Amino acid sequence: MKKTIFCIYRFLVDQSFYPITLSTIYALTLYSGRVVGSGAWVIYANLVWNLILAWIPYGSSMLADGLNRLFPRKWWWLVPPSVIWLLFFPNAPYLLTDFFHLEPRYDSPFWYDMLLLIAFSFTGIFLAVASLRTMQRLVSSYAGKYVGWAFAIFALILGGVGIYLGRFERWNSWDMLTQPERILADVLVPMIDPLNSLRFFGFSSLFTIFLLICYLMFATMRRPDEKIVSNVGD
């Protein structure tokens, strides 16, 4: 029993579950404090919904990793959660764009609303980084390190494009299942006429670069004790 509990604990540590949960609780607490202080729950309620959507790719990556540990090398078990992860991945960093709604309001201090948006945005980035790191590890275990990094970069590009489609074209992830041809058209049209699609390329590319920097910054970190163990082993 103790061994099972420890294995679950280590699994959650590998998924950065505890700091992500703490960040989520902090963001929701700030939102609750604003609701209590202002008496209005509608303002910034979209943050809560977007945070829920941001947890879907993270949960899908955890499921994929868990299945891979329970059924090693049976890659077909990973297909359903991986597809869900890919569809919903842009929802995690999408929280950054909620700064569009930041403005001085009479019912709450401006600094409080700014901190509120920072907390939700940071949590979204954290969810994106953690889930992508897990998926990259899985791809690397089956196809090698270089394919894993190519997959990560490709996912970040899709993330940048997905954020644009969500913010400006108002598409949702599940629309890929019901109206894929229309979403594909919104992506292909700028490719055909790039001179009249500068916002598409500018927004998508700049967000992709930002996400890549965040990913490299967080995903390549190592705990000091890991380095010490490595040195001792050498």
Instruction: Using pLDDT thresholds of 50, 70 and 90, give the confidence band for residue 41.
Output: confident
Burial of 6 (0-12, 13-18, 19+ CB in 10 A): exposed
The span from the CA of 218 to the CA of 214, in Å, is: 6
Per-residue b/e over 201-226, b at no fewer than 16 CB within 10 Å? eebbeebbeebbebbeebeeeeeeee
Give the model's pLDDT for residue 169: 86
Rounded to an integer, the average pLDDT of 176-203 is 87
| Encoded tokens for 123 | 């949590």
- Kindly calculate the radius of gyration of the chain based on its CA atoms and give it in whole angstroms: 19
Q: Are 121 and 95 in contact (CB under 8 A)?
A: yes
Question: What is the percent of the chain with per-residue pLDDT over 70, rounded to a whole number?
Answer: 94
Q: Is pTM, for the whole model, over 0.85?
A: yes
Give the model's pLDDT for residue 42: 84
